[in-house]
A and B are shown apart, each in its own frame.
Chain A
């Protein structure tokens, strides 16, 4: 017996409707459950041993918590730093032990729930600008150590300004929906097939250090993986956090583990140096970590699967643009970077073959020209060299010309840069 085409269409229609109803019910249930949250565990306060306090301080460095939880020029950890997101402004909270505006009244259980489940002391769901998709990986004892460390900060009375998020992103329902789709709480589970160093590295990189928060593009709804590092634009659009899966972008496959450790500890190695947001990560974060942890992070980073980024076919820029770029290069850049982009030994990077120049995204080349910058002051390089900003000296067209020139000279074969690209990054 064969159904007529009409009947078949009707059946298909009903199947779709039924499927949609089931999906809607499942989603509603998930949202309701998310909104309900979980109770904070109760129990005795953890003992503030010297070992725990030291471990907590180290974890705070690894997570660079105070980078976001300190306003510029403000008291350490007192919050008030505004983060620009596509959904509006998020203002960081006060982590000092002030009872009214900080964490003073929080129990260790409530603090653990915030890091593990992304819920505030009053049960409200937290915004994932606070990287709880990563901190959920922390062990309970490490969370306690961090809690105890934060209680040693000088208390500061400072109530954070309210967030300025657009509707519907400012609702708890939107957050619950986001969590139902993107958030799965769960401590890190060591992989028995891997070495202890690898597991320690994975624990730090995908957990408290939340590297993928920048090194991965968020989806349109702000979701991101914790162990994929395919590269992404920073939320303010000014810098590009390159893929760690591609040695031509930001991957470490072509380096030795010592090189990777050196970059995180000293801010530079024989191949590369850090600038912009990564300079802040090194200055206040990774350079303070013990060598064993940096080596563990390197072990994990060197094991990442290779995933070459999509590189469009090479198209040479117009001669006119390159001629203009060459003239500007000679005038402004050659003194330090050399006539043939060869760089100055150990001081100014060679631009010939430098991946920060040839990355698929031109954003970092543009931003380096516009904003310049120093590499971070570290124990190995307390008096870093730097590059001047050319924001005032060069127009968008100038920057496009010189960026195109360096991306297409001395064997470099990367895409040309337009004035519009520059205007976006300015």
Chain B
């Protein structure tokens, strides 16, 4: 009789599951646990998530790919954090990491790292030859008017330490990182808000240009006062989106 069977089965299942539930609800007796330790309830403690890769206090690691974040303009850092979270910039893991965070918290994180004033290590010895370095220096300092390439200085500051609030410095970064970023601008893997002036510039560079610029920049010592400049002496050489800050 199906009804009887069903009733019997349900009764059996119910009694079994409640018995098992009761057993399961009581946690198995384990060894006594150590009392929790305490850590400071500070932003610096929270930022251990970042410094595990970006180096102590965000000063980068000596041999790593991960860029320094300490001392960069706050607006720039805030933009990058939002770009990673919203998929306009790609780096393995950054998007998932930032996904659960709000704009407000990201701004606080950006301001924290921007406020750190830490010394830079001397640049590593460069593997590039003199001709490559000369080509890199020329592109950085003068650009190439024939190709409508502005100099790097014209936006990133005369000392290339960046410009408040949104333009990053170019010194003290690993060569591999610089090559990776210029390549990402060229392919659209790295983007800024439109009009995306840096993408336009990167697309005018050849592979050899990218290598030369990155080699020369990575070989330069960072000046003792590496703080970003307060502003630029003149207008930007081309139209940029709000990422670049208040300049047009």
* B30: chain A residues within 8 A (beta carbon): 352-353, 410-411
* B104: chain A residues within 8 A (beta carbon): 382
* A391: chain B residues within 8 A (beta carbon): 92-93
Give the complex CA separation of A374 and B93 in angstroms.
12
Query: Given the known A-B contacts A73-B88, A345-B37, A383-B108, are A306 and B20 also in contact in the complex, defined by CB atoms under 8 Å?
Result: yes
* Shortest Cβ distance from residue A86 to the other chain B in the assembled complex, whole angstroms: 21
**Contact pick for B33, options A71, A353, A388, CB 8 Å:** A353
* Shortest Cβ distance from residue A16 to the other chain B in the assembled complex, whole angstroms: 23
Q: Is the CB of A373 within 8 A of B46?
A: no
Interface 9-residue window, one of A133-141, A204-212, A334-342, A417-425: A334-342
Within 8 A of A (CB), among B9-47: 17-18, 20-21, 24-25, 27, 30-31, 33-39, 41, 43, 45-46
Give the complex CA separation of A305 and B53 in angstroms.
44
Q: Is the CB of A352 within 8 A of B33?
A: yes
* A393: chain B residues within 8 A (beta carbon): 52-53
* Shortest Cβ distance from residue B64 to the other chain A in the assembled complex, whole angstroms: 8
Query: Given the known A-B contacts A352-B30, A376-B100, A387-B49, are A338 and B37 also in contact in the complex, defined by CB atoms under 8 Å?
Result: yes
- Count the A-B residue pairs with Cβ separation under 8 angstroms: how many? 135
Which residue of chain A lies nearest to B83 when distances are taken between CB atoms in the complex? A73
Within 8 A of B (CB), among A282-333: 283, 305-308
**Contact pick for B24, options A246, A276, A372, CB 8 Å:** A246
* Shortest Cβ distance from residue B38 to the other chain A in the assembled complex, whole angstroms: 6
Give the complex CA separation of A308 and B25 in angstroms.
10
Give the complex CA separation of A391 and B95 in angstroms.
14
* B102: chain A residues within 8 A (beta carbon): 377, 382
Q: Is the CB of A389 within 8 A of B37?
A: no
Q: Is the CB of A347 within 8 A of B105?
A: no
Query: Given the known A-B contacts A385-B46, A411-B30, are A73 and B39 also in contact in the complex, defined by CB atoms under 8 Å?
Result: no
* B98: chain A residues within 8 A (beta carbon): 374
Chain A interface helix/strand/loop/mixed: loop
Question: Scoring A residues 72 to 98 as 1 if CB is less than 8 Å from chain B, else 0, what string do you get?
Answer: 110000000000000000000000000
Give the complex CA separation of A71 and B36 in angstroms.
41
* Shortest Cβ distance from residue A91 to the other chain B in the assembled complex, whole angstroms: 15
Q: Is the CB of A383 within 8 A of B43?
A: yes
Q: Is residue B86 within 8 Å, beta carbon to beta carbon, of the partner chain? A: yes
Q: Is residue A130 within 8 Å, beta carbon to beta carbon, of the partner chain? A: no
Q: Is the CB of B17 within 8 A of A344?
A: no
Give the complex CA separation of A383 and B106 in angstroms.
9
Q: Is residue A280 within 8 Å, beta carbon to beta carbon, of the partner chain? A: yes
Give the complex CA separation of A375 and B46 in angstroms.
11
Q: Is the CB of A343 within 8 A of B36?
A: yes
**Contact pick for B50, options A253, A341, A388, CB 8 Å:** A388
**Contact pick for B31, options A339, A384, A410, CB 8 Å:** A410
**Contact pick for A336, options B33, B48, B108, CB 8 Å:** B48
Q: Is residue B97 within 8 Å, beta carbon to beta carbon, of the partner chain? A: yes
* A283: chain B residues within 8 A (beta carbon): 99-100
* A340: chain B residues within 8 A (beta carbon): 33-34
Q: Is residue A248 within 8 Å, beta carbon to beta carbon, of the partner chain? A: yes
* Shortest Cβ distance from residue A425 to the other chain B in the assembled complex, whole angstroms: 13
Give the complex CA separation of A253 and B46 in angstroms.
31
**Contact pick for B93, options A247, A353, A389, CB 8 Å:** A389
Q: Is the CB of A371 within 8 A of B97?
A: yes
Could you tell me how many residues of chain B have their Cβ less than 8 Å away from some Cβ of chain A? Answer: 42
* B18: chain A residues within 8 A (beta carbon): 306
* B50: chain A residues within 8 A (beta carbon): 388
Give the complex CA separation of A417 and B139 in angstroms.
51
Which residue of chain A lies nearest to B191 when distances are taken between CB atoms in the complex? A73
Q: Is residue A279 within 8 Å, beta carbon to beta carbon, of the partner chain? A: yes
* B95: chain A residues within 8 A (beta carbon): 72
Question: Scoring B residues 34 to 77 as 1 if CB is less than 8 Å from chain A, else 0, what string do you get?
Answer: 11111101010110111111000000000000000000000000
Give the complex CA separation of A371 and B91 in angstroms.
12
* A280: chain B residues within 8 A (beta carbon): 99-100
* Shortest Cβ distance from residue A349 to the other chain B in the assembled complex, whole angstroms: 9
* Shortest Cβ distance from residue B40 to the other chain A in the assembled complex, whole angstroms: 9
* A253: chain B residues within 8 A (beta carbon): 21, 24-25
* A387: chain B residues within 8 A (beta carbon): 49
Question: Scoring A residues 219 to 247 as 1 if CB is less than 8 Å from chain B, else 0, what string do you get?
Answer: 00000000000000000000000000011
Q: Is the CB of A374 within 8 A of B24?
A: no
* A106: chain B residues within 8 A (beta carbon): none
* Shortest Cβ distance from residue B105 to the other chain A in the assembled complex, whole angstroms: 5
* A194: chain B residues within 8 A (beta carbon): none
Which residue of chain B lies nearest to A367 when distances are taken between CB atoms in the complex? B96
**Contact pick for B97, options A267, A335, A338, A372, CB 8 Å:** A372
* A307: chain B residues within 8 A (beta carbon): 17, 20
Give the complex CA separation of A386 and B88 in angstroms.
23
Q: Is residue B101 within 8 Å, beta carbon to beta carbon, of the partner chain? A: yes
Query: Given the known A-B contacts A342-B36, A377-B100, are A306 and B17 also in contact in the complex, defined by CB atoms under 8 Å?
Result: yes
* B231: chain A residues within 8 A (beta carbon): none
Residues of chain B whose beta carbon lies under 8 Å from any beta carbon of chain A? 17-18, 20-21, 24-25, 27, 30-31, 33-39, 41, 43, 45-46, 48-53, 86-88, 92-93, 95-102, 104-105, 108
Additional 20 contacts, C-beta under 8 A, given A374-B100, A411-B30: A72-B86, A276-B96, A305-B17, A340-B33, A342-B34, A344-B38, A345-B36, A372-B49, A375-B100, A377-B105, A384-B101, A385-B49, A386-B97, A388-B49, A388-B52, A390-B52, A391-B92, A410-B33, A411-B31, A411-B33
7 closest Cβ contacts across the A-B interface?
A306-B21, A388-B52, A73-B86, A411-B30, A72-B87, A342-B34, A376-B100
20 contacts between A and B (CB under 8 A): A248-B24, A279-B100, A306-B24, A338-B37, A344-B36, A345-B36, A347-B41, A352-B33, A353-B33, A372-B49, A377-B100, A384-B105, A386-B46, A386-B97, A387-B49, A388-B51, A391-B92, A393-B53, A410-B33, A411-B33
Residues of chain A whose beta carbon lies under 8 Å from any beta carbon of chain B? 71-73, 246-248, 253-254, 267, 276, 279-280, 283, 305-308, 335-336, 338-348, 350, 352-353, 371-377, 382-393, 410-411
